[in-house]
Each structure stands twice: as structure tokens, then as C-alpha cells.
Amino acid sequence: MDITAAPNQVSDFLVEAQYGIADRFLLAFPCLSDPVRRTSLFTKSGLIIFHFVSVGFLFAFDGSLLERTKKEPWYTVLLLSLFVTTVFQYIFTSVSSPGYTKETMNTGDVTYAGCTISCKISIENGNLVRAWEYGRQPGGDSVKMDSESLSKLLMELYPGGINRNWTCDHCKYAQPPRAKHCHDCGKCVLKFDHHCVWLGTCIGQKNHCRFWWYLFEETILCTWAVILYIPYLKNEAHLSWWKETAAIIILLLLIFSLVFLVLLLFFHSYLIITNQTTYELVRRRRISYMRYVPENVMPFSKGICRNLYEFCCSWDRGFSLDALPTNEEMAVKTKPYTCLDVISCRCC
């Protein structure tokens, strides 16, 4: 027997055992086998832990907060209620669907350019048959359609001067205006805004409203925490070195987060009232059907009031797809506002 071969055999055995344990671990937790999902899971867990640490540190070591809790329990109830609401809003937004193009083919609640498409499922000769009905005018007669006709109808949302096959090369589904394929999610997203690495999901038509409310709640919570940490560092004169260091690190992270949140909140508020998306604003020249649109024109804006209504009240009413404006509509949008337009609330 070759004695020199023994160490190599032991090494191979240890390597096989190590990989065997890793494989069994990944089989037990499939969500960790994908590197993208693993990174997303660790990011979400880290953010949730930071929420608990930043708030829990105050309740554990801030004597003035504990005294105020005894005198004014409503103050602590408000703070904890906001904390719980923000954490749940974060989790709810991160697991919500942004609205995928594929889902529009399997739903019965889709609106194309202001007209309703309904999906009816029936069984004929033992086979499942899915038929679409398109009401070209609300309350008018419907026209039965198949998936191919539905894709052709979707092409009507583009101006006649734009000729191109809008079928996604990855999903093989026709892309309506404002949709984009997300390579992180592997799907086409309706009214694609951006892929949020902190949430681990895309922000699109179905969850943009939830995302804005999360930003709003997170901004208030972060502001409140900063207000509590500053007097804690000033008043506690005899802090141990590790408590003071931990408080300073948490405060710096909170201030950095607060600046980022405020800027993001104002930016998305602007996008909402103008009915734009981050992708359309940043990559406007790279979107082929937006190249003919003047820079100062928001082609999908329907006025501030209508934009706010659709964003706040219509996100849970199925899918809604916008048509690109015609040349006549574009000419109207390019006209500057006059005093009469302001009086008549044309901008609204």
C-alpha cells in the first residue's frame, strides 16, 4: 500500500464531505441555491435586523425614553406602531408582484387604452379554452379574441409610424408601451420603474404605490430615530465607550439613510404627478418609441389630478396599459401653458 496516497485520500474525503453537506443544506433551503435570491435574502434580513437594532438600542439604554414611556405611554405606542407598520410595509412590498406582462394573459381584469378586456375560460370537448373579449368602447359590444389577436391589438397602442416587432426576446410575450424586461427577475414588468436591490424585486405598475408609502413611512421613522439619538448622546454624560461608539455609528447610518430617503421620496413624488417612471426619465433617449417625443413633454401624463388618482386608487383594479399619444395629442401636449390654461386647470 502506498503510504503517500493516504493524505490525498483523506483530503478528497473531506472535500466530498464538505460539498455533500453544502448540497444537503441547499436542498433543505432552495431559496439559497440561487446567488441572486441568496443576496436578496441576506440584504432583506440585514435591513430588518438594522431596524430592530436601531430602535431596540434606545429602549434598552435611553433612560429618558424609558421615563417618558412611563409618563406618556401614548408616545411609545405611536413610535412602536410606526415601527411595526414600516417593517410590515417593507416585507409586504418586497414580496408583492410589480405586475408582469405574463400575468395580463391570465387575468380577467385588464384595461387597454381606457377599454376593458375580459378573459373567459370554458371547457370544450374536454379542453380548456381561454377567450378574450375586448370592449372597444365602455359599455359597447365586445369582440372575442385569442392570444394572437390580443397581441395584435396590443400593437395598436403604438403610433402608426413606429413599426417594429415588440415581442420580448426572453419572455416571448408582446411588450406594451412602458414595459421592460428585467434581467434580475427574468420577466417583463408593466410600467417598469427600476429593480430595487434593497427590496429584491422590481418596482412596477402593481407595487409602485406600496413602494411610495414605504418610503414615506421609512422617512418618518428614520427622522424620529435621529431626533431621539441626538439628545441621547448629549444627555448621557457617563456613557461607556462601546455604548457611545454604537450610538454614533447607528446615528451616522440613520442620517445617511434619511438623506437618501428624502431625496428618493421627492423624486418619486415628482414621477407620480407627471406620470413618469425612473427608467423613462433616465433612459429616455434609449427607448425607441420615446425618441420622437420632445424633451419637455410627458407623453403619458393626464394632468396632476388624474395622475394622482390613477396612482393611488387604480393600482389594485387590475392591469392598465397606456397607449402612446397620437400626433394630434402630442401637438397639444407641446403647447406651453397660458394664463387661461392655468385658470381652466388644464395642468390638472
Which residue numbers are catalytic?
196
Total Cβ atoms within 10 A of residue 38: 14
Cβ proximity of 66 and 75 under 8 Å? no
Beta bridge partners of 134: 117, 143
For 203, the grid coordinates are 418596482
- Residue 79's nearest CA partner among 49, 52, 55, 48 is 55
Cβ proximity of 318 and 308 under 8 Å? no
Integer Cα distance of 325 and 51 in angstroms: 44
End-to-end Cα spacing for the chain: 89
Strands 319-321 and 110-112: parallel
CA dist 241 → 54, 231, 247 (Å): 17, 17, 10
CA 167 to chain CA centroid, Å, is: 23
